Amino acid sequence: MSDIPAKLQESIEDFSFITTRTERQEYLIQLAGSFDDVKVPERIAATPYDENHRVPACESDAFVWAEENEDGTLKFWFDVLNPQGLSAMAMAVILDQSLSGAPIEQVANVQSDIVLDFFGKSISMGKGQGLMGIVNMVVAEAKRRLNT
Amino acid sequence: MSEISERSYANSDVLVSTQWVADNLDNPKIRIVESNEDPLLYPSGHIPGAVEVDWTSDLNDPIVRDYISQDAFEALASRIGITPDTTVVFYGDKSNWWATYALWVFRLFGHTNAKIMDGGRKKWVDEGRELSREAVSYEATQYKAAHDRDDKTDRALRDDVLKHVQASGQLVDVRSPAEYTGEKLHMEGYPQEGALRGGHIPGARNIPWSRAANEDGTFKSADELRKIYEEEQGLNSGNPTVTYCRIGERSSHSWFVLSFLLGYPNVRNYDGSWTEWGNSVGVPIEK
Protein backbone atom coordinates (compact mmCIF):
# COMPACT_ATOMS: atom_id res chain seq x y z
CA MET A 1 0.00 0.00 0.00
CA SER A 2 1.25 3.45 -0.91
CA ASP A 3 2.12 5.79 1.96
CA ILE A 4 -0.10 8.52 0.64
CA PRO A 5 -3.86 8.28 0.05
CA ALA A 6 -4.56 7.68 -3.65
CA LYS A 7 -6.95 10.60 -4.04
CA LEU A 8 -4.50 12.93 -2.35
CA GLN A 9 -1.81 11.80 -4.76
CA GLU A 10 -4.17 12.48 -7.67
CA SER A 11 -5.00 15.96 -6.37
CA ILE A 12 -1.33 16.82 -5.94
CA GLU A 13 -0.65 15.65 -9.48
CA ASP A 14 -3.54 17.73 -10.81
CA PHE A 15 -2.09 20.82 -9.17
CA SER A 16 1.41 20.06 -10.42
CA PHE A 17 0.26 20.85 -13.95
CA ILE A 18 -0.67 24.39 -12.96
CA THR A 19 1.96 26.79 -14.20
CA THR A 20 0.69 30.28 -13.39
CA ARG A 21 -0.40 32.03 -10.21
CA THR A 22 -3.63 33.13 -11.87
CA GLU A 23 -4.51 29.60 -12.92
CA ARG A 24 -3.83 28.33 -9.40
CA GLN A 25 -5.98 31.04 -7.87
CA GLU A 26 -8.85 30.38 -10.24
CA TYR A 27 -8.76 26.66 -9.48
CA LEU A 28 -8.69 27.28 -5.73
CA ILE A 29 -11.53 29.83 -5.93
CA GLN A 30 -13.55 27.25 -7.84
CA LEU A 31 -12.89 24.68 -5.11
CA ALA A 32 -13.85 27.17 -2.39
CA GLY A 33 -17.16 27.54 -4.20
CA SER A 34 -17.97 23.93 -3.23
CA PHE A 35 -17.46 24.59 0.45
CA ASP A 36 -21.12 24.06 1.32
CA ASP A 37 -20.65 20.39 0.39
CA VAL A 38 -18.15 19.89 3.22
CA LYS A 39 -19.66 22.26 5.78
CA VAL A 40 -20.46 20.48 9.03
CA PRO A 41 -24.14 19.45 9.25
CA GLU A 42 -26.13 20.31 12.38
CA ARG A 43 -26.39 16.65 13.34
CA ILE A 44 -22.62 16.76 13.92
CA ALA A 45 -22.18 20.23 15.43
CA ALA A 46 -23.94 23.55 15.79
CA THR A 47 -22.65 26.99 16.73
CA PRO A 48 -21.17 27.95 19.07
CA TYR A 49 -18.77 25.14 18.32
CA ASP A 50 -16.72 23.25 20.86
CA GLU A 51 -13.35 25.02 20.92
CA ASN A 52 -11.62 21.63 20.82
CA HIS A 53 -12.51 21.55 17.13
CA ARG A 54 -11.00 24.95 16.35
CA VAL A 55 -7.90 24.97 14.14
CA PRO A 56 -5.04 26.66 16.00
CA ALA A 57 -3.18 29.35 14.06
CA CYS A 58 -5.94 29.67 11.45
CA GLU A 59 -6.97 33.30 11.07
CA SER A 60 -10.13 32.30 9.23
CA ASP A 61 -11.69 30.60 12.27
CA ALA A 62 -11.72 27.12 10.77
CA PHE A 63 -13.11 24.09 12.61
CA VAL A 64 -12.71 20.36 11.87
CA TRP A 65 -14.72 17.27 12.80
CA ALA A 66 -14.38 13.60 11.89
CA GLU A 67 -17.27 11.16 11.60
CA GLU A 68 -16.68 7.44 11.48
CA ASN A 69 -17.90 5.65 8.34
CA GLU A 70 -19.29 2.12 8.53
CA ASP A 71 -16.07 0.75 7.01
CA GLY A 72 -14.01 2.35 9.76
CA THR A 73 -12.66 5.19 7.64
CA LEU A 74 -13.40 8.82 8.45
CA LYS A 75 -15.54 11.48 6.82
CA PHE A 76 -14.19 14.94 7.55
CA TRP A 77 -16.41 17.97 8.09
CA PHE A 78 -15.42 21.60 8.32
CA ASP A 79 -16.59 25.09 8.98
CA VAL A 80 -14.90 28.41 8.29
CA LEU A 81 -16.53 31.23 10.22
CA ASN A 82 -14.80 34.03 8.34
CA PRO A 83 -16.84 34.50 5.16
CA GLN A 84 -13.70 35.92 3.53
CA GLY A 85 -11.63 32.83 4.35
CA LEU A 86 -11.58 31.51 0.81
CA SER A 87 -8.23 29.75 1.15
CA ALA A 88 -9.39 27.86 4.23
CA MET A 89 -12.57 26.86 2.40
CA ALA A 90 -10.59 25.62 -0.59
CA MET A 91 -8.27 23.66 1.72
CA ALA A 92 -11.27 22.07 3.44
CA VAL A 93 -12.71 20.94 0.10
CA ILE A 94 -9.35 19.50 -0.99
CA LEU A 95 -8.98 17.60 2.28
CA ASP A 96 -12.48 16.19 2.10
CA GLN A 97 -12.03 15.09 -1.50
CA SER A 98 -8.58 13.64 -0.80
CA LEU A 99 -8.80 12.15 2.68
CA SER A 100 -12.41 11.36 3.56
CA GLY A 101 -12.80 7.61 3.19
CA ALA A 102 -9.06 6.97 2.90
CA PRO A 103 -7.34 4.36 5.10
CA ILE A 104 -6.84 5.94 8.52
CA GLU A 105 -3.22 4.79 8.68
CA GLN A 106 -2.51 6.77 5.53
CA VAL A 107 -4.38 9.85 6.72
CA ALA A 108 -2.39 9.74 9.96
CA ASN A 109 0.83 9.97 7.95
CA VAL A 110 -0.11 12.94 5.78
CA GLN A 111 2.38 15.78 6.09
CA SER A 112 1.18 19.33 6.60
CA ASP A 113 3.46 20.67 3.88
CA ILE A 114 1.03 19.35 1.26
CA VAL A 115 -0.37 22.87 1.61
CA LEU A 116 2.51 24.04 -0.56
CA ASP A 117 1.54 21.58 -3.31
CA PHE A 118 -1.83 23.26 -3.55
CA PHE A 119 -1.15 26.89 -2.70
CA GLY A 120 2.39 27.25 -4.01
CA LYS A 121 5.61 27.92 -2.20
CA SER A 122 5.17 31.67 -2.20
CA ILE A 123 2.29 31.59 0.26
CA SER A 124 2.89 33.81 3.28
CA MET A 125 4.10 32.19 6.48
CA GLY A 126 1.00 33.11 8.45
CA LYS A 127 -1.39 31.89 5.80
CA GLY A 128 0.64 28.71 5.34
CA GLN A 129 0.60 28.02 9.06
CA GLY A 130 -3.14 28.44 9.24
CA LEU A 131 -3.74 26.06 6.34
CA MET A 132 -1.24 23.57 7.71
CA GLY A 133 -3.19 23.79 10.96
CA ILE A 134 -6.26 22.47 9.14
CA VAL A 135 -4.23 19.55 7.76
CA ASN A 136 -2.81 18.87 11.21
CA MET A 137 -6.27 18.78 12.75
CA VAL A 138 -7.40 16.21 10.19
CA VAL A 139 -4.28 14.14 10.78
CA ALA A 140 -4.74 14.43 14.55
CA GLU A 141 -8.28 13.05 14.23
CA ALA A 142 -6.94 10.04 12.34
CA LYS A 143 -4.17 9.48 14.90
CA ARG A 144 -6.65 9.72 17.72
CA ARG A 145 -8.77 6.95 16.15
CA LEU A 146 -5.68 4.78 15.65
CA ASN A 147 -4.68 5.15 19.28
CA THR A 148 -8.07 4.21 20.73
CA MET B 1 -20.63 53.77 13.14
CA SER B 2 -20.39 57.54 13.09
CA GLU B 3 -18.94 59.54 10.22
CA ILE B 4 -15.15 59.61 10.13
CA SER B 5 -15.09 63.38 10.70
CA GLU B 6 -17.09 62.96 13.92
CA ARG B 7 -14.70 60.53 15.59
CA SER B 8 -12.21 63.16 16.80
CA TYR B 9 -9.15 61.56 15.19
CA ALA B 10 -5.89 63.47 15.26
CA ASN B 11 -5.64 62.98 11.47
CA SER B 12 -9.04 62.11 10.09
CA ASP B 13 -7.89 62.66 6.50
CA VAL B 14 -6.00 59.33 6.49
CA LEU B 15 -9.34 57.53 6.41
CA VAL B 16 -11.92 57.59 3.65
CA SER B 17 -15.35 55.99 3.63
CA THR B 18 -16.64 53.34 1.26
CA GLN B 19 -18.93 56.01 -0.21
CA TRP B 20 -15.95 58.28 -0.83
CA VAL B 21 -14.25 55.45 -2.71
CA ALA B 22 -17.41 54.74 -4.71
CA ASP B 23 -17.54 58.42 -5.64
CA ASN B 24 -13.91 58.41 -6.78
CA LEU B 25 -13.65 55.20 -8.79
CA ASP B 26 -12.94 57.11 -11.99
CA ASN B 27 -10.75 59.78 -10.44
CA PRO B 28 -7.36 59.58 -12.20
CA LYS B 29 -5.62 61.13 -9.20
CA ILE B 30 -6.73 58.25 -6.99
CA ARG B 31 -5.51 54.65 -7.11
CA ILE B 32 -7.45 52.05 -5.17
CA VAL B 33 -5.22 49.21 -3.93
CA GLU B 34 -6.40 45.95 -2.37
CA SER B 35 -4.06 44.14 0.03
CA ASN B 36 -5.25 40.98 1.72
CA GLU B 37 -4.26 38.26 4.11
CA ASP B 38 -6.09 35.76 1.87
CA PRO B 39 -4.56 35.68 -1.63
CA LEU B 40 -7.76 34.34 -3.20
CA LEU B 41 -9.94 37.31 -2.33
CA TYR B 42 -8.78 39.85 -4.92
CA PRO B 43 -9.10 37.48 -7.88
CA SER B 44 -12.53 36.38 -6.61
CA GLY B 45 -13.78 39.96 -7.00
CA HIS B 46 -12.44 43.43 -6.21
CA ILE B 47 -13.53 47.06 -6.22
CA PRO B 48 -13.81 48.07 -9.87
CA GLY B 49 -10.52 49.54 -11.00
CA ALA B 50 -8.61 48.43 -7.91
CA VAL B 51 -5.17 46.89 -8.33
CA GLU B 52 -3.66 44.32 -6.00
CA VAL B 53 -0.49 44.70 -3.97
CA ASP B 54 0.43 41.35 -2.49
CA TRP B 55 2.57 41.23 0.62
CA THR B 56 4.59 38.18 -0.30
CA SER B 57 5.15 38.74 -4.00
CA ASP B 58 5.19 42.56 -4.18
CA LEU B 59 6.50 44.01 -0.94
CA ASN B 60 9.06 41.50 0.29
CA ASP B 61 12.50 40.85 -1.08
CA PRO B 62 12.43 37.35 -2.57
CA ILE B 63 15.75 36.34 -0.99
CA VAL B 64 16.62 38.42 2.05
CA ARG B 65 14.14 38.72 4.89
CA ASP B 66 13.50 42.38 4.25
CA TYR B 67 11.36 44.72 2.25
CA ILE B 68 12.00 45.48 -1.37
CA SER B 69 14.69 47.91 -2.40
CA GLN B 70 14.04 51.40 -3.73
CA ASP B 71 14.41 50.12 -7.30
CA ALA B 72 11.86 47.37 -6.74
CA PHE B 73 9.45 49.78 -5.07
CA GLU B 74 9.75 52.18 -7.99
CA ALA B 75 9.06 49.28 -10.37
CA LEU B 76 5.99 48.29 -8.34
CA ALA B 77 4.67 51.85 -8.18
CA SER B 78 5.30 52.30 -11.90
CA ARG B 79 3.52 49.04 -12.67
CA ILE B 80 0.35 50.09 -10.83
CA GLY B 81 0.49 53.39 -12.67
CA ILE B 82 0.97 55.87 -9.85
CA THR B 83 3.12 58.95 -9.44
CA PRO B 84 4.25 60.52 -6.16
CA ASP B 85 1.20 62.78 -6.45
CA THR B 86 -1.29 59.94 -6.70
CA THR B 87 -3.46 59.42 -3.64
CA VAL B 88 -3.28 55.72 -2.90
CA VAL B 89 -6.24 54.30 -1.01
CA PHE B 90 -5.63 50.89 0.52
CA TYR B 91 -8.29 48.44 1.60
CA GLY B 92 -8.37 44.75 2.40
CA ASP B 93 -9.64 41.91 4.55
CA LYS B 94 -9.24 41.44 8.29
CA SER B 95 -10.30 44.96 9.23
CA ASN B 96 -7.62 46.38 6.94
CA TRP B 97 -4.81 44.59 8.70
CA TRP B 98 -2.88 43.97 5.45
CA ALA B 99 -3.93 47.32 4.01
CA THR B 100 -2.27 49.19 6.86
CA TYR B 101 0.78 47.01 6.33
CA ALA B 102 1.00 48.00 2.66
CA LEU B 103 0.50 51.65 3.58
CA TRP B 104 3.32 51.36 6.09
CA VAL B 105 5.69 49.94 3.44
CA PHE B 106 4.73 52.68 0.98
CA ARG B 107 5.62 55.25 3.63
CA LEU B 108 9.08 53.71 4.03
CA PHE B 109 9.75 55.03 0.54
CA GLY B 110 8.17 58.41 1.19
CA HIS B 111 4.79 57.81 -0.44
CA THR B 112 2.87 59.59 2.31
CA ASN B 113 -0.09 60.44 0.12
CA ALA B 114 -1.88 57.31 1.25
CA LYS B 115 -5.16 56.54 2.95
CA ILE B 116 -7.18 53.60 4.26
CA MET B 117 -10.77 52.82 3.28
CA ASP B 118 -12.51 52.54 6.65
CA GLY B 119 -14.12 49.13 7.14
CA GLY B 120 -12.08 47.56 4.37
CA ARG B 121 -13.29 44.89 2.03
CA LYS B 122 -15.88 43.53 4.46
CA LYS B 123 -17.76 46.82 4.71
CA TRP B 124 -17.72 47.27 0.94
CA VAL B 125 -19.12 43.76 0.46
CA ASP B 126 -21.64 44.05 3.32
CA GLU B 127 -23.00 47.23 1.77
CA GLY B 128 -23.70 45.30 -1.41
CA ARG B 129 -21.35 47.40 -3.47
CA GLU B 130 -20.07 46.25 -6.83
CA LEU B 131 -17.21 43.78 -7.15
CA SER B 132 -15.44 43.09 -10.42
CA ARG B 133 -13.38 40.15 -11.64
CA GLU B 134 -12.03 42.08 -14.60
CA ALA B 135 -8.28 42.25 -14.91
CA VAL B 136 -7.06 45.77 -14.15
CA SER B 137 -4.05 47.47 -15.64
CA TYR B 138 -2.94 51.06 -15.99
CA GLU B 139 -0.40 52.71 -18.21
CA ALA B 140 2.94 52.31 -16.50
CA THR B 141 4.58 55.40 -15.03
CA GLN B 142 8.21 56.23 -14.31
CA TYR B 143 7.85 56.51 -10.54
CA LYS B 144 10.73 58.08 -8.64
CA ALA B 145 10.66 57.47 -4.90
CA ALA B 146 11.11 60.45 -2.60
CA HIS B 147 14.06 58.72 -0.98
CA ASP B 148 15.68 55.36 -0.37
CA ARG B 149 13.92 53.07 2.09
CA ASP B 150 13.75 54.84 5.45
CA ASP B 151 14.34 52.23 8.14
CA LYS B 152 14.42 54.74 10.99
CA THR B 153 11.26 56.83 11.11
CA ASP B 154 8.41 54.33 11.02
CA ARG B 155 10.40 51.11 11.31
CA ALA B 156 12.37 49.61 14.21
CA LEU B 157 15.03 46.96 13.71
CA ARG B 158 16.12 44.46 16.35
CA ASP B 159 18.99 46.54 17.73
CA ASP B 160 16.74 49.60 17.88
CA VAL B 161 14.28 47.59 19.93
CA LEU B 162 17.03 46.28 22.21
CA LYS B 163 18.09 49.87 22.98
CA HIS B 164 14.45 50.80 23.44
CA VAL B 165 14.01 47.99 25.97
CA GLN B 166 17.18 48.96 27.82
CA ALA B 167 15.82 52.50 28.07
CA SER B 168 12.49 51.12 29.43
CA GLY B 169 10.72 52.42 26.33
CA GLN B 170 7.04 52.00 25.62
CA LEU B 171 6.20 48.75 23.76
CA VAL B 172 2.90 47.36 22.54
CA ASP B 173 2.58 43.64 21.83
CA VAL B 174 -0.52 43.35 19.66
CA ARG B 175 -0.69 39.54 19.56
CA SER B 176 -3.30 37.47 21.35
CA PRO B 177 -2.95 37.01 25.12
CA ALA B 178 -1.94 33.35 24.56
CA GLU B 179 0.89 34.41 22.25
CA TYR B 180 1.93 37.17 24.67
CA THR B 181 2.25 34.80 27.62
CA GLY B 182 4.02 32.17 25.54
CA GLU B 183 1.29 29.65 26.23
CA LYS B 184 0.85 28.99 22.51
CA LEU B 185 4.33 27.56 22.16
CA HIS B 186 3.31 24.76 24.44
CA MET B 187 0.33 23.52 22.45
CA GLU B 188 1.46 20.15 21.36
CA GLY B 189 1.22 19.00 17.78
CA TYR B 190 0.11 22.21 16.13
CA PRO B 191 1.97 24.81 14.11
CA GLN B 192 3.33 27.53 16.29
CA GLU B 193 4.97 30.88 15.94
CA GLY B 194 8.12 29.59 14.36
CA ALA B 195 9.99 30.78 17.44
CA LEU B 196 12.15 28.89 19.90
CA ARG B 197 11.00 30.88 22.91
CA GLY B 198 7.56 31.99 24.00
CA GLY B 199 6.66 35.14 25.84
CA HIS B 200 7.04 38.81 25.07
CA ILE B 201 9.58 41.61 24.93
CA PRO B 202 10.21 42.93 28.47
CA GLY B 203 7.96 45.78 29.42
CA ALA B 204 5.54 45.29 26.54
CA ARG B 205 1.86 45.85 27.19
CA ASN B 206 -0.51 43.37 25.55
CA ILE B 207 -3.13 45.21 23.50
CA PRO B 208 -4.42 42.90 20.73
CA TRP B 209 -4.65 44.79 17.45
CA SER B 210 -8.28 43.85 16.87
CA ARG B 211 -9.43 45.87 19.86
CA ALA B 212 -9.04 48.99 17.73
CA ALA B 213 -11.63 47.76 15.24
CA ASN B 214 -15.39 47.49 15.39
CA GLU B 215 -17.31 44.39 14.30
CA ASP B 216 -17.89 45.93 10.88
CA GLY B 217 -14.17 46.47 10.37
CA THR B 218 -14.24 50.23 10.90
CA PHE B 219 -11.91 51.90 13.37
CA LYS B 220 -13.16 52.82 16.80
CA SER B 221 -13.48 56.49 17.66
CA ALA B 222 -10.57 58.41 19.18
CA ASP B 223 -12.34 58.48 22.55
CA GLU B 224 -12.79 54.71 22.51
CA LEU B 225 -9.19 54.18 21.42
CA ARG B 226 -7.83 56.46 24.13
CA LYS B 227 -9.85 54.55 26.68
CA ILE B 228 -8.15 51.31 25.61
CA TYR B 229 -4.59 52.46 24.98
CA GLU B 230 -4.25 55.19 27.60
CA GLU B 231 -6.81 54.83 30.39
CA GLU B 232 -6.79 51.03 30.51
CA GLN B 233 -3.22 50.24 29.41
CA GLY B 234 -1.45 53.40 30.51
CA LEU B 235 0.28 54.39 27.29
CA ASN B 236 1.71 57.89 27.23
CA SER B 237 1.10 59.56 23.88
CA GLY B 238 4.31 61.56 24.12
CA ASN B 239 6.62 58.60 24.66
CA PRO B 240 8.43 56.90 21.76
CA THR B 241 6.54 53.68 21.10
CA VAL B 242 7.33 50.41 19.35
CA THR B 243 4.62 48.02 18.17
CA TYR B 244 5.20 44.40 17.27
CA CYS B 245 3.42 41.09 16.66
CA ARG B 246 4.69 37.96 14.88
CA ILE B 247 6.03 39.38 11.62
CA GLY B 248 4.94 43.00 11.83
CA GLU B 249 1.67 42.79 9.94
CA ARG B 250 -0.89 42.98 12.76
CA SER B 251 1.27 45.57 14.50
CA SER B 252 1.14 47.83 11.45
CA HIS B 253 -2.58 48.16 12.20
CA SER B 254 -1.81 49.35 15.73
CA TRP B 255 1.03 51.53 14.39
CA PHE B 256 -1.53 53.19 12.11
CA VAL B 257 -3.98 53.70 14.97
CA LEU B 258 -1.42 55.21 17.32
CA SER B 259 0.36 57.31 14.69
CA PHE B 260 -2.58 58.74 12.79
CA LEU B 261 -5.83 58.24 14.63
CA LEU B 262 -4.41 59.16 18.03
CA GLY B 263 -1.57 61.31 16.70
CA TYR B 264 1.36 59.86 18.66
CA PRO B 265 4.44 61.60 17.24
CA ASN B 266 6.92 58.74 17.49
CA VAL B 267 5.69 55.22 16.75
CA ARG B 268 7.75 52.59 14.99
CA ASN B 269 6.71 49.15 13.83
CA TYR B 270 9.13 46.32 14.62
CA ASP B 271 8.55 44.01 11.65
CA GLY B 272 11.13 41.47 12.81
CA SER B 273 8.68 40.99 15.67
CA TRP B 274 8.41 37.75 17.60
CA THR B 275 9.72 35.50 14.83
CA GLU B 276 13.01 37.38 15.15
CA TRP B 277 13.02 38.24 18.86
CA GLY B 278 11.88 34.80 19.98
CA ASN B 279 14.64 33.17 17.96
CA SER B 280 17.45 35.60 18.75
CA VAL B 281 20.29 34.50 20.99
CA GLY B 282 20.72 36.46 24.18
CA VAL B 283 17.86 38.95 24.00
CA PRO B 284 15.74 39.36 27.13
CA ILE B 285 12.27 37.82 27.31
CA GLU B 286 9.44 38.06 29.78
CA LYS B 287 6.66 35.55 30.28
Domain ranges of chain B: 4-126, 158-277
Question: Which residue type does B61 have?
Answer: D
Report if residue A45 sits inside a domain. Answer: no
What's the rounded Cα separation, in Å, for the pair B158 and A99?
43
Measure Cα distances from B111 to A64, B20, B97, B143, B256 in Å: 43, 21, 19, 11, 15
Find the residue in B nearest to A131 (Cα): B191
For the domain that residue A16 is a member of, what is the CATH number?
3.90.1010.10
How does residue B224 score in pLDDT terms, banded at 50, 70 and 90? very high
Q: How, if at all, do strands B87-91 and B51-52 pair? A: unpaired
Residue B184 pLDDT exceeds 80? no
Find the residue in A nearest to B61 (Cα): A122
Judged by CB atoms closer than 8 Å, whether chains meet at A29 and B56 is answered as no
C-alpha closest to that of A78 among A120, A43, A36: A36
Q: Same CATH topology for B4-126 and B158-277?
A: yes
Predicted local distance difference test score (pLDDT) of residue B192: 52
User: How distant is the Cα of B94 from the closest Cα of chain A, in angstroms?
Assistant: 9
Predicted local distance difference test score (pLDDT) of residue B185: 59
Number of domains in chain A: 1
**What number of other Cβ atoms are within 10 A of residue B206's Cβ?**
16
Q: Based on the number of CB atoms within 10 Å of its own CB, is A115 exposed (0-12), middle (13-18) or buried (19 or more)?
A: buried
| Interface check B46 vs A, CB under 8 A | no
User: How distant is the Cα of B18 from the closest Cα of chain A, in angstroms?
Assistant: 18
Q: Which of B41, B122, B247 sits opposite A126 (nearest CB)?
A: B247
Return the residue in A51, A80, A86, A132 with the most chain B beta carbons within 10 A, the one to mutate for interface testing. A86
What's the rounded Cα separation, in Å, for the pair B193 and B191?
7
Fold classification of B158-277 (topology level): Oxidized Rhodanese; domain 1 (3.40.250)
C-alpha closest to that of B120 among B15, B29, B226: B15
User: How distant is the Cα of B180 from the closest Cα of chain A, in angstroms?
Assistant: 14
What's the rounded Cα separation, in Å, for the pair B221 and A5?
52
Beta-carbon contacts of residue B233 (< 8 Å; ≥ 6 apart): B172, B205, B207
Return the residue in B179, B190, B250 with the most chain A beta carbons within 10 A, the one to mutate for interface testing. B190
Q: Can you name the residues that pair with B46 across neighbouring β-strands?
A: B132
Q: Are A81 and A60 in contact (CB under 8 A)?
A: yes
**B46-69 pLDDT tens trace:** 999 999 999 888 999 989 999 999
**B119-151 pLDDT tens trace:** 999 999 999 999 999 999 999 999 999 999 999
Judged by CB atoms closer than 8 Å, whether chains meet at A84 and B122 is answered as yes
Q: Measured at the alpha carbon of residue A132, what is the angle toward residues B208 and B245, in degrees to the nearest 5?
A: 20
Backbone φ and ψ for B116, nearest 5 degrees, come out as -120, 135
Architecture of the domain delimited by B4-126: 3-Layer(aba) Sandwich (3.40)
Judged by CB atoms closer than 8 Å, whether chains meet at A90 and B121 is answered as no
> Across all residues in chain B, what is the average pLDDT?
94
Query: Which residues constitute the domain of residue A83?
Result: 6-39+51-146
ipTM reported for the complex surpasses 0.85: yes
Judged by CB atoms closer than 8 Å, whether chains meet at B94 and A59 is answered as yes
Predicted local distance difference test score (pLDDT) of residue A2: 62
Q: Are B283 and B277 in contact (CB under 8 A)?
A: yes
Q: At B140, is the secondary structure helix, strand, or coil?
A: coil
Q: Which of A85, A86, A125 sits opposite B247 (nearest CB)?
A: A125
What's the rounded Cα separation, in Å, for the pair B82 and B148?
18
Beta-carbon contacts of residue A38 (< 8 Å; ≥ 6 apart): A76, A77, A78, A92, A93, A96
Written as tens digits, the pLDDT of chain A (148 aa) is 568 999 999 999 999 999 898 999 999 999 999 999 999 999 999 999 999 999 987 888 999 999 999 999 999 999 999 999 999 999 999 999 999 999 999 999 999 999 999 999 878 877 888 899 999 999 999 999 998 7
Judged by CB atoms closer than 8 Å, whether chains meet at B122 and A124 is answered as no
Active site residues of B: 245
Least confident range from A8-12, B53-57, B172-176, B182-186: namely B182-186
